């Protein structure tokens, strides 16, 4: 009987791992690869800010797990993980229901020989009063589409009024990559909406406020990247507030710890991450304060060699002599997925597993059509700063590399061609 590898979570890392293991071990019958996810389709998470602004139509950029499984020799199981029994080596999947509450797929158990948890992360509101009730998070496609619908509703309502000035106000909490890119994308959307006839509300009448508790935007990146981004956002008319911790969120705005009230009809929380609550004390596995599973450099959990975790849901040591962990970034998940492809080949042969060592290849930030900025690392010239058109081309290439890993070179080329044709026939902004 072949070794059964169950992967929970169809995000960028989990889906790439299932695809590559299916093409190698699954196709040859060396292992049975199973991917479980609560959704039927996948969309690359770094694109969600574009879905929220309407710059990207999610239905045209989604991948169907069932079809991907058929093409790449793995099995897909629909369901959200609800529990783990390490002694029996099974996971529990909760029942899946349709929009009317009828059961589609019953609750069940999946047996495993090796288990890989790649369930990603969710936004951490740090228990801020009113945040969960009044803010929209951008963790899933559904949340991004909900924000887009609300944005259009506010625009249409304001456009129908005689005096439409200053009717749209958006507050974004957190000036990390998601918050910064969303602010720029919303400013772009304001221009497009005006061009499509909703011109009672000019771009300058969409008030966008970006709030960061730390001293600068993009706190996780070098200051030489954050400074030009801050300057560009202000040139676009975005109000950037640094050193402003949000104390409370209400239906009509935000209240900072300094007592300042920020009016906002739409509020997005994009500050901080934490792993899903399910992972906390999951059948005795070690987790940290933000629910991440603690793993060794082999990506095996500290208390069970048969259970692996990677990506945002794993606390993996950085290996630089400090107590820091690998940062929760897409490039880390991609690197770890590549390592696990090699590791499972060795595991089936009874050989020692390789250790993961994080390699920082730099960061790229897109400011919609207005600009892009970033730095590339690990090349012959060390760290190279990029801005403008060249930086944007590199930023776009990241998504194409993700598609290459999932579809292969030829199908990715066809997707690029399709996107090029679509831009000449489709609206530049999703208007529904």
Q: pLDDT band at residue 419, thresholds of 50, 70 and 90?
A: confident
Detail the DSSP E strand segments found in 31-178.
Answer: 31-37, 41-42, 63-64, 75-78, 81-85, 90-93, 96-97, 103-105, 108-111, 114-117, 122-123, 168-173
* Domain-ending residue, one of 348, 376, 394: 348
**89 shares a domain with 19:** yes
Over residues 149-196, the pLDDT tens digits come to: 999 998 888 877 766 555 789 999 999 999 999 999 999 998 888 888
What local confidence, expressed as pLDDT, does residue 377 receive?
Answer: 66
Q: Kindly state the DSSP code that residue 356 receives in the 8-state scheme.
A: P
pTM summary value: 0.92
The two counts, helices (H) then strands (E), for the chain are: 10, 27
pLDDT at 418: 81
**Do 91 and 33 sit in the same domain of this protein?**
yes
Please name the residues in contact with 194: beta carbons below 8 A apart, sequence gap of 6 or more: 201, 202, 203
Q: Looking at the structure, do residues 262 and 315 belong to the same domain, yes or no?
A: no
- Of 272, 303, 329, at which residue does a domain stop? 272
Nearest partner of 76 among 120, 45, 33, judged by Cα: 33
Residue 380 predicted with pLDDT over 50: no
CATH at residue 242 = 3.50.50.100
**Better-predicted residue by pLDDT, 293 or 55:** 293
**First CA to last CA distance, the chain:** 50
- Burial category of 22 from C-beta neighbours within 10 Å (exposed 0-12, middle 13-18, buried 19 and up): buried
* Last-in-domain residue among 307, 325, 348: 348
Q: Is residue 74 part of a domain?
A: yes
Q: Are residues 412 and 308 in the same domain?
A: no
In this structure, the answer to whether residues 187 and 247 fall within a common structural domain is: yes
Same domain? For 221 and 298 the reply is no
| pLDDT (tens digit per residue) in 15-37 | 999 999 999 999 999 999 999 99
Q: Is residue 355 part of a domain?
A: no
The reply to whether 211 and 116 lie within a common domain is: no
> Alpha helices, DSSP H only, in 29-64?
48-53
Do both 342 and 368 map to the same domain?
no
Residue 356 included in any domain:
no
**Residue 382: what pLDDT?**
55
In a domain, 357, yes or no: no
What pLDDT digit, counting tens, does each position of 64-111 carry? 999 999 999 999 999 999 999 999 999 999 999 988 889 999 999 999
Instruction: In whole angstroms, give the CA distance from residue 368 to residue 185.
Output: 5
268-291 pLDDT tens trace: 999 999 999 999 989 999 999 999
Give the domain extent around 240.
Answer: 126-272
The β-bridge relationship of strands 41-42 and 63-64 is antiparallel
Tokens, residue 324: 């820091």
Residues 6+ away with beta carbon under 8 Å from 243: 212, 213, 214, 215
> pLDDT of 217-254, one tens digit each?
999 888 888 888 999 999 999 999 999 999 999 999 99
**Residue-wise pLDDT tens digits, 88-98:** 999 999 999 98
**177, containing H or E segment:** helix 177-195
Residues 6+ apart with CB under 8 A from 212: 174, 175, 179, 219, 240, 241, 242, 243, 244, 271
183 in the same domain as 215: yes
Assess whether 148 and 225 both reside in one domain: yes
Q: How many structural domains is the chain composed of?
A: 3
Q: What is the pLDDT of residues 341-375, one digit of tens each?
A: 999 999 999 999 999 999 988 888 888 877 778 77
Looking at the structure, tell me whether residues 221 and 87 fall in a common domain.
no
């Amino acid at each position: 009987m072949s070794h059964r590898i169950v992967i929970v979570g169809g995000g960028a890392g989990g889906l790439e791992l299932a695809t590559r293991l299916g093409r190698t071990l699954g196709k040859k019958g060396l292992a049975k690869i199973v991917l479980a996810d609560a959704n039927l389709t996948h969309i690359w998470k770094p694109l969600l800010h574009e879905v929220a602004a309407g710059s990207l139509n999610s239905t045209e950029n989604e991948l169907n797990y069932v079809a991907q499984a058929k093409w790449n020799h793995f099995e897909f199981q629909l369901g959200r993980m609800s529990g783990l029994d390490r002694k029996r080596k099974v996971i529990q999947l909760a029942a899946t229901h349709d929009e009317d509450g009828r059961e589609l797929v019953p609750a069940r158990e999946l047996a495993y020989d090796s288990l890989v948890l790649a369930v990603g992360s969710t936004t951490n509101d740090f228990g801020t009063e009113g945040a969960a009730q009044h803010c929209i998070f951008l963790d899933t496609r559904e949340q991004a589409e909900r924000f887009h619908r609300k944005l259009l509703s506010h625009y249409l309502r304001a456009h129908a009024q005689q005096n439409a000035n200053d009717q749209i106000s958006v507050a974004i909490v957190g000036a990390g990559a998601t918050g910064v890119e969303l602010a720029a994308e919303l400013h772009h959307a304001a221009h497009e909406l005006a061009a499509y006839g909703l011109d009672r509300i000019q771009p300058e009448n969409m008030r966008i406020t970006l709030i960061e508790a730390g001293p600068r935007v993009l706190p996780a990146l070098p200051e030489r990247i954050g400074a030009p981004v801050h300057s560009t956002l202000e040139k676009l008319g975005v109000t950037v507030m640094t050193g402003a911790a949000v104390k409370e969120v209400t239906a009509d705005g935000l209240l900072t710890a300094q007592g300042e009230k920020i009016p906002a009809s739409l509020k997005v929380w994009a500050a901080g991450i934490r792993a899903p609550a399910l992972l906390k004390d999951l059948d005795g596995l070690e987790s940290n304060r933000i629910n991440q599973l603690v793993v060794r450099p082999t990506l095996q959990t500290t208390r069970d060699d048969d259970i692996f975790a990677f990506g945002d849901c794993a606390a993996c040591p950085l290996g630089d002599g400090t107590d820091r962990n690998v940062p929760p970034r897409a490039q880390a998940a991609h690197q770890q997925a590549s390592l696990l492809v090699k590791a499972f080949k060795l595991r089936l042969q009874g050989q020692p597993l390789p250790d993961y060592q994080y390699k920082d290849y730099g960061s790229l930030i897109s400011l919609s059509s207005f600009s892009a900025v970033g730095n590339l690392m690990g090349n012959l010239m060390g760290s190279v700063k990029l801005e403008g058109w060249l930086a944007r081309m590199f930023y776009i290439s990241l998504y194409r590399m993700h598609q290459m890993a999932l579809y292969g070179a030829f199908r990715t080329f066809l997707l690029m061609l399709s996107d090029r044709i679509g831009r000449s026939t489709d609206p530049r902004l999703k208007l529904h």
